[in-house]
Structure 1
Amino acid sequence: MVDVTTDKHTAEQRTLLALWAVPGLGPRTLGNLRAFAGGSLARLAACPVKDWLVEAPLPMPVRRRLAEVPELGFLADRVLERCAAVAMGVAFQGEPAYPARLAETEDAPPLLFYRGQVGPPRRRVAMVGSRHPDQGFLPFARSFARQVAEGGVGVVSGAAAGVDRACHWGALDAGGETWAFLGSALDALDPAQAKLLPHFLARGGVFFSELPPGVRASTTTFPRRNRLIAGASDAVLILRAGAASGSLYTAEAGRAQGRPVLALPGDVMNEGAAGCNALIRDGHARACLSVHEVWRAVGFHPERSVPPGEGSSWDELSVEARGAYQVLDRVPRSFDEVLAGSQLSPAALSSALVELELSGLVIQHPGRLFEKV
């Protein structure tokens, strides 16, 4: 169940929540405000807004909106009340419900609103595509996503009509995890999303949004939410996209965030696949020809991976490899960081990390960064 109590948040979090609810106030302006307040946003909530508004470093539209707010505590209470009305949780960066991979990105929101139960860390892939693909493609997309999820990989998409929704259903068919990042607030769903939500909640899925209560979808909110889909994932797969498909924004975001980008190639005569084919042709995506390529892209090897402490693969690891594994985390760590946390020599650690990679328990990212699978 989502915890919607209002007394569990710190003063800093409540102030952040209030400011995030002001239209036009983004991460950069928040950073300027935090510096203005001496490093603590909570100081702004300790006095009426009018006492600091004139000197605060704010764009004029935001200044005008804040001028209508008597105090930030009042605004935070109002947002939390609206969240409680629809069982909507608030996840701040660093909390378990906030996707760790997303928090690593440059433009990550300071908080997310969510509905559902956020599960434990796992490998996840963004699977997106056209709202109106060619006839007969949606059953294929659903089946492909089901196979991805059967390997234990989470499916992330945008709950839009067409390919996105088919991928969510495929993950649900497999009893797997699926996340949806929306271009509207979670209390402003369109009818189709509202029908999908109960299935998510009943079967372990999660709806996310960076938008505060009451914000409806628009032509500007959809492109921005695509960076969240890519950022929360370990890789991005474009299944079907025309030359002007909105899913290409997700591919672009994935490239900017350093995520592996894959695309399903299509018939050169099929205009609905022109976007995917162009991504491959221009070297912006790798061609994806099987589910196994998706698993490899996210560093997951279901045929080899064994939960630590179970099965022969773990039992056969050397003492050095087991020790190195305990130092690693789901956040990529440099060789020097792992070395500092272990009791191994550089040579012994190098050997242990190679052993873990070959066992499918660790993935190495560019720059000699290591991460648990």
Structure 2
Amino acid sequence: MAHTLSHILSADQCATLALWSVPGLGPKTLEALRAFAGGHLGALASRPVREWAGQAPVSGPVRQRLASGEDLPLLAERTLARCAASGVEVAFSGAPGYPERLVGTPDAPPLLFYKGHVGPPRRRVAMVGSRHPEQGFLPYARDFARQVAEGGVGVVSGAAMGVDRACHWGALDAGGETWAFLGSALDELDPPQARLLPHFLERGGVFFSELPPGVRASRSTFPRRNRLIAGASDAVVVMRAGKDSGALYTAVAGEALGRPVLALPGDVRNEAAVGCNGLIQQGRARACLSVKDVWEFVGARPVLAVPPGTGEGWEVLSAEAKGAYEVLDRVPRTFEEVLAAVRLSPAALASALVELELSGLLIQHPGRLFERI
């Protein structure tokens, strides 16, 4: 949890967290400061800010904020305290909780703030779109996202009203994984996002933000967060986008990162689909005609199981395997968690899980984590 981090932060992490909390200081400036410190930001944390701020390679406003603020260890502690007060955790690049696909991408933040449980590695797709698509499209987007998630693919979006939120709900309908990257700090949610958050946390979803506590959304923060949506994903699907839709920023970010970009084509008379049709016409996106196209472009090979209680495959399962399946869900569980929920011996459960895996009814993730399909 966030409140325990103060006891385990390295000097470099302490400096990174403190500097990241200074308004106007971004990834490029942070790297310039690292070079200024001889390759280790921790060297700055061990010295009073007033000793080095005057020579630091930062802009005038940032230098002024540094010089008039607290020393880095105190600033880091203050940021951690604000995180703890709102139940926010911190993940540094390369550490558990930080999206693995985002590590090493250009302009990636050195850390992320998050709420929720970040699951094991899997294929993930960014699904984005207009806040105001044509009438009747939102139920379609929700169902499309549900089918994507049923194939074991995580759904990444921005929690904005309209298509983004419909895609999140679709993933939740399937009991699948969904991530939301926000344009505000996690303690500055707007009312609709605040209402959505409990559903995310309850069903295994995650809210992410690169913004430290106290930062509200603005016109500049929304385009910036789109690079994170694309960077954390294996492909980008533009579900609906008008001529000037913000969803097109995510497509541009996906292009820049070399992620496959797909777009759902729409009626040429439909202004809400002009952006999608334009991406396809210009050769910047492939036409997405089915959920199978999404699975193909993210490299997923889902094994679609027969629904429990139907079909010959289900009938031939042992009673132990059927019982184990009933207690599994789309949030990965440890062997011990499953064992506690079933009336089986460890050996019988191990055999049942193998049977389910061979039948295509569950996935075993590294670390002996089990997820039903």
Task: Say whether the fold is shared (TM-score over 0.5).
Answer: yes
Structure 1 match to 2:293: 293
One-letter amino acid of the structure 1 residue matched with residue 281 of structure 2? R
Deviations 1:231-283 (A, max 9, x none): 00000000000000000000000000000000000000000000000000000
SS of equivalent to 2:180: strand
Partner of 1:282: 282
Partner of 1:238: 238
Question: 2: CA distance between counterparts of 1:38 and 1:302?
Answer: 47
1:240 corresponds to which letter in structure 2? Answer: R
Cα distance per residue 1:120-174 (max 9 Å; x no partner): 0000000000001100000000000000000000000000000000000000000
CA deviation vs aligned residue, 1:52-107 (integer Å, no higher than 9, x gap): 11111111110011111131111101100000001101000110210010113111
Secondary structure, in 3 states, of the residue corresponding to 1:179?
strand
Tell me whether 21-30 or 288-297 shows the greater mean CA deviation.
21-30
Structure-2 separation of matches of 1:123 and 1:59: 39
The 1-side partners of 2:157 and 2:201 are apart by 16
What's the offset of the Cα at 1:304? 8.8
| 1:112 maps to amino acid | L
Equivalences for 1:35-114 in 2 at 5 Å?
Answer: 35-114=35-114
Once the two structures are superposed, what CA deviation does each residue of 1:149-207 show, in whole Å capped at 9, x if it has no partner? 00000000000000000000000000000000000000000000000000000000000
8 Å contact 1:50–1:70 — kept in the other structure? no
* Contact in 1 for aligned 2:2/2:83 (Cα 8 Å): no
For these two proteins, the number of residue pairs brought into alignment is: 305
Q: Percent identity?
A: 71
**2:205 is the counterpart of 1:200:** no
Match of 1:349 in 2: none
Over the aligned positions, Cα root-mean-square deviation in angstroms equals 1.3
**Corresponding position of 1:151:** 151
Aligned to 1:29: 29
CA distance in 2 between counterparts of 1:222 and 1:52 reads 33
Amino acid aligned to 2:25 = L
- Which amino acid in the other structure matches residue 201 of structure 1? L
The secondary structure found in structure 1 opposite 2:53 is coil
Which SS does the other structure have where 1:108 is aligned? coil
Corresponding residue for residue 251 of structure 1: 251
Gaps of 5+ in 1: 306-373
How far apart, CA to CA, are the structure 1 residues paired with 2:173 and 2:103?
Answer: 29
Report SS of the residue matched to 1:208. Answer: strand
CA contact (8 A) 2:151 2:304 kept: no
1 CA distance for matches of 2:260 and 2:53? 44
Query: What's the CA shift for 1:7?
Result: 1.0
1:325-336 counterparts in 2 under 5 A?
none
SS in 2 for 1:53: helix
Counterpart Cα distance in 2 of 1:68 and 1:81: 20
Q: CA deviation at 1:229?
A: 0.1
Q: Distance in 2 between matches of 1:238 and 1:70?
A: 44
2:174 corresponding residue in structure 1? 174
Q: Offset of 1:303 from its aligned partner? A: 3.6
Secondary structure of the 2:68 match is coil
For the 8 Å contact 2:130–2:241, the answer to whether it is kept is yes
